[in-house]
Structure formats: structure tokens, C-alpha cells
Structure 1
Amino acid sequence: MKVANLEGALLDYWVAKADGCLEVVYLYQDDKYYATDCGVPVYYSRDWSKGGPIIEREGLVIAPRAHPDFIATMTWASQPYRGKSAQHIGSTPLIAAMRAFVASKFGEEVEDAPSVTG
């Protein structure tokens, strides 16, 4: 799966893995992933208190960017300040930054998350 297409709980799953959490589980009833060994619910791409420290620690640069097809639609771009990772785009600053973080750790493609069963 391309990192550029990750969003929601699936993006958060890969951020947790990139941040060093070894066991990340999906709770079907909550429709959310939890990083059990890190002791936190996984909301990196939706909560500044979770994603913000990663942005600061990793030196991720975030900037607004006009969508190429719709000038009135704003998107966000992010990439590490240091390193050679590609720029990543998202509909919010956190989504763009978390995609850039995942790509900096795993490259431009990741495996599918573990199967979800009810």
C-alpha cells in the first residue's frame, strides 16, 4: 500500500509502528487501533497532542499548498527537514506530516495492516 494513500486508523497504525510501538491492535467495536505496548490509543493523525511531538522531534516541515486541480482547495505538504524523503501531501497538516514520518521510516510503500476480524 502506498504511504500517500494512508489515512485514518490505517495511517495511525503505521505511525505507531514507525514510532517504535511493537504491538498495535485493532479493536473492532471502536473501529480504532491501539498501541498496546506503548500504552496509548493511536490518534497521531487526528490529535496534535499525539502527532505534534513527532513533528517536533523528527524535524518535519509543514507548509500550506494549493491543490493543483482546485486552486480554492488548500492541502498541506510535509517532509523531514533533514534526509532525502519525498514530500507528502494531506488534507490537514497532521495527515501530511504523519505520512512523511511513515515514509521516512519505511519508504514509500508499506504492507497492509493485519486483517481485521469481528
Structure 2
Amino acid sequence: MSELELTANGDAKVEVKDLIGQALDFWVCLCLGQRGVDIMALPAPTAYSSDWNMGGPLIQAQNIAVTPMPPAMIEWAGIWPRPAKASKLILPQSVQNGPARVGMHGPTPLIAAMRAFVAGVAGAGILLPEHYHEVYKRELEA
């Protein structure tokens, strides 16, 4: 894997389409308004992208559609119809006027759905805090 592109404060510039594991779960937490959370320090792991007990209710609450992607049907697509302005989610100004639907793909239904959710709230490119860099690299290589 190539080196991460870093900002002046040490955060890594990452595309949501590449997020996986703890880095993806960290961003789901941020998009749900859980500011300052460090999911690696929580006693019970936050696993929206791998645990249906966590990700399933979010998929249902946000009306995220998940479907296998043709032709091989081994990847999944997550499609999130962004909420109306009356939603409890506060979308950043940079994405408020974005597309009505956001779609992302992933190796599992949960990963595809969580990527779509994060991209819909935060945009396609995000910043990953420095202490997640090594975890992110390991998860990409796995």
C-alpha cells in the first residue's frame, strides 16, 4: 500500500470508498454525532460495519438499501436516500446540496451500507486521525 497523504496536523486524507473496519466505524460514529469518540478505547467495540445488531438498526432507521452488484454478485451496493432537511442529522454545508442518493460498494452488505451513510453525511473524501493510520493500513492489507 502506498503512503497516506497527510494534512498539516497529521490527519490522513482518505476516500470513503476505501474505508473498512475500525476506521469506517469511527466515521459512522462521527456521522451520528458522537464527537470525540475513540472507538478503539471503548469497552464494547463499536462495529457498525461488521455487527448486524449495530449496523442493522442504522440501515433500517436511515432507509439504506443494500443489494448485490452484478455481474458476479460478490460485491454489494449500499444506497442511501439522503434525509430531508427535517432530519435529525446535521449535514455539513459542503454536502447539503449534494445528490439525493448516495451509493457506495463494499465486500459485505454492512460495509457497503456504512460507506454510503458516511459518504452521504461527510462527503466522498474524509480525514482520518493519526492514531487510526496503522489500523487502517493493516485492515486494507488483510
With the shorter chain as reference, the TM-score category is: 0.7 to 0.9
CA positional deviation for 1:66? 2.9
1:20-54 CA deviation, whole Å, 9 max, x = no partner?
1112215xxxxxx25x6xx8531110100111111
d(CA) in 2 for partners of 1:17, 1:114: 16
Q: How does 1:92-111 map to 2 (within 5 A)?
A: 92-111=108-127
Equivalent positions of 1:69-80 (< 5 A) are 71=72, 74-80=74-80
Q: Secondary structure at the match of 1:77?
A: strand
- What CA RMSD, in Å, does the superposition of the two structures yield over aligned residues? 2.2
Alpha-carbon offset, residue 81 of structure 1: 3.2
Identity of aligned residues (%): 35
Is 1:86 the counterpart of 2:86 in the alignment?
no
The answer to whether residue 65 in structure 2 is matched with residue 61 in structure 1 is: yes
Q: Determine whether 1:21 maps to 2:34.
A: yes
Higher helix share goes to which structure? Answer: 2
Give 1:7's aligned residue. Answer: 20
4+ runs deviating over 4 angstroms:
none
Q: 1:113 to 1:101 in 2, by over 3 A?
A: same
Q: Are positions 1:112 and 2:116 aligned together? A: no
Matched-pair contact (CA < 8 Å) for 1:77–1:90: yes
TM-score by length of 2: 0.65
Listed as ranges, the gaps of 5+ residues in structure 1 are 27-32
**Distance in 2 of aligned mates of 1:48 and 1:66:** 23
Q: How many corresponding residue pairs?
A: 104
